[in-house]
């Protein structure tokens, strides 16, 4: 009897998002702002459930998301914050505003956790090794087994984990090496391979997806929808018409001229990015390779008279959010990188974390 299963509706689409869906969603959010995900379905005709739309936006389409390699600094922060906060990825992500919780979680699960586990095994003959033979199932913070072990055991393990994290952090701090350099302590076969197939920033992604999409479904490109041009040259221009329901799903965006747009995907290394992507009517598509960042500027042409004001308001809010998010980051950065204070403050925070967790019992 419980709740109906997630998004179980006839006709609700699952799986990877198509560029067309992305554009429709982005267009809708441009006009109405994020939130009210329920309305996205009714207003755009997207065959996606509200949750899926929200996730797509927050994890992928949202402006200001940085993708690809984690910097050494980010890695240190994640290790440190994970030790303090546990697997509270949303909380951790709030200190790294350019990263999504999903990204951080993935990075932790696929790389950092193994790295720390490795250190732990090297450090002492660890009984956890036995427990962790279900590799990938049990977290290094052992949250999954918390209910099965006594308070004392759990605290000891927590402290041990925090100690491990602290060690890793201090080692990382002492070796001021770029992330691509090998980590001295790790055997060669376990060196991090920081060659993420960077799922580049949205514009390029969409462009690439479009390429496949148009190849795979030429019918769509001619009858269901039309994408006549897409170019990225620090400005992006897209003309896309979703003809399934023009009044609802129409996207009609033109080249921004230095617009400080909502959809400016600014990456730290994008200043010299210049690439163009074009799609002709035959579906031929060209884009230079090896670009993983681009500014994605879109000027919308709203359908509603007052939506421009709303859009401006949203733009402003968005800016403010990004600005305010910098504050805790800066403080934390200072805390993390101030060698003189790091140890004492760290201890204080860890103490706080321990006393907080002790309150749970």
Partner DNA sequence: AATAATCACAACCGCCACAGG
Partner DNA sequence: ACCTGTGGCGGTTGTGATTAT
Q: Which residues make up the interface to DNA (CB under 7 A)?
A: 2-3, 5-7, 13-17, 35-38, 50-52, 54-56, 58-60, 67-68, 87-91, 101-103, 105-107, 109-111, 137, 139, 143-144, 192-193, 195-199
Of 118 and 255, the one with the shorter C-beta distance to DNA is 118
| Least Cβ distance, residue 283 to DNA (angstroms) | 19
- Write out the chain in H/E/C secondary structure: CCCCCCCCCCCCCCCCCCHHHHHHHHHHHHHHCCCCHHHHHHHHCCCCCHHHHHHHHHHHHCCCCCCCCCCHHHHHHHHHHHHHHCCCHHHHHHCCCCCCHHHHHHHHHHHHHHHHHHHHHHHCCCCHHHHCCCCCCCCCCCHHHHHHCCHHHHHHHHHHHHHHHHHHHHHHHHCCCCCCCCCCCCCHHHCCCCCCCCCCCHHHHHHHHHHHHHHHCHHHHHHHEEEEEEEECCCEEEEEEECCCHHHHCEECEECCCCCCCCCCCCCCCCCCCCCCEECCCCCEECCCCCCCCCCCEECCCCCCCHHHHHHHHHHHHHHHHHHHHHHHHHHHHHHHCHHHHHHHHHHHHHHHHHHHHCCC
Of 70 and 311, the one with the shorter C-beta distance to DNA is 70
The distance from CA 183 to its chain's CA centroid, rounded to whole angstroms, is 25
Regarding beta strands 254-255 and 225-232, do their DSSP bridges make them parallel or antiparallel, or are they unpaired? unpaired
| Least Cβ distance, residue 215 to DNA (angstroms) | 12
| Least Cβ distance, residue 36 to DNA (angstroms) | 5
**Rounded distance, CA 323 to CA 42, Å?**
33
| Least Cβ distance, residue 343 to DNA (angstroms) | 27
Of 197 and 268, the one with the shorter C-beta distance to DNA is 197
Of 58 and 252, the one with the shorter C-beta distance to DNA is 58
| Least Cβ distance, residue 29 to DNA (angstroms) | 12
| Least Cβ distance, residue 51 to DNA (angstroms) | 6
Of 13 and 233, the one with the shorter C-beta distance to DNA is 13
Tokens for 80, please give them. Answer: 């440190």
| Least Cβ distance, residue 223 to DNA (angstroms) | 24
Of 87 and 266, the one with the shorter C-beta distance to DNA is 87
| Least Cβ distance, residue 344 to DNA (angstroms) | 27
Of 255 and 357, the one with the shorter C-beta distance to DNA is 357
Of 7 and 309, the one with the shorter C-beta distance to DNA is 7
């Amino acid at each position: 009897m419980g709740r109906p299963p997630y998004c179980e509706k006839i006709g609700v689409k699952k799986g990877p998002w198509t560029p067309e869906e992305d554009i429709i969603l982005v267009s809708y959010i441009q006009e109405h702002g994020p939130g009210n995900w329920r309305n996205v379905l009714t207003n755009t005709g997207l065959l996606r459930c509200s949750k899926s739309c929200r996730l797509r936006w927050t994890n992928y389409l949202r402006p200001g998301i940085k993708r690809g390699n984690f910097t050494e600094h980010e890695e240190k922060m994640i290790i440190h914050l994970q030790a303090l906060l546990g697997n509270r990825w949303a909380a951790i992500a709030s200190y790294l505003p350019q990263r999504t919780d999903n990204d951080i979680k993935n990075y932790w699960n696929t790389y950092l956790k193994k790295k720390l586990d490795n250190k732990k095994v090297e450090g002492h003959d660890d009984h956890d090794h036995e427990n962790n033979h279900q590799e990938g199932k049990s977290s290094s913070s052992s949250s999954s087994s918390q209910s099965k072990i006594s308070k004392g055991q759990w605290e000891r393990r927590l402290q041990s984990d925090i100690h491990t994290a602290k060690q890793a952090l201090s080692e990382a701090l002492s070796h001021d090496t770029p992330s691509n350099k090998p980590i001295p302590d790790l055997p060669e076969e376990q060196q991090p391979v920081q060659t993420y197939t960077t799922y580049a920033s949205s514009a390029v992604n969409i462009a690439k997806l479009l390429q496949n999409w148009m190849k795979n479904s030429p019918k769509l490109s001619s009858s269901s929808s039309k994408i006549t041009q897409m170019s990225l040259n620090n400005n992006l221009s897209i003309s896309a018409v979703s003809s399934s329901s023009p009044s609802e799903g129409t996207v009609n965006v033109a080249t921004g001229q230095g617009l400080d747009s909502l959809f400016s995907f600014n990456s730290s290394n994008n200043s010299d990015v210049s690439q163009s992507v074009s799609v002709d009517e035959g579906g031929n598509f060209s884009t230079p390779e090896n670009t993983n960042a681009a500014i994605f500027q879109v000027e919308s042409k709203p359908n509603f008279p007052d939506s421009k004001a709303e859009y401006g308001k949203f733009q402003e809010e968005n800016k403010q959010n990004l600005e305010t998010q910098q504050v805790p980051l800066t403080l934390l950065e200072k805390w993390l990188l101030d060698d003189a204070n790091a140890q004492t403050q760290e201890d204080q925070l860890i103490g706080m974390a321990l006393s907080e967790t002790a309150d749970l019992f």
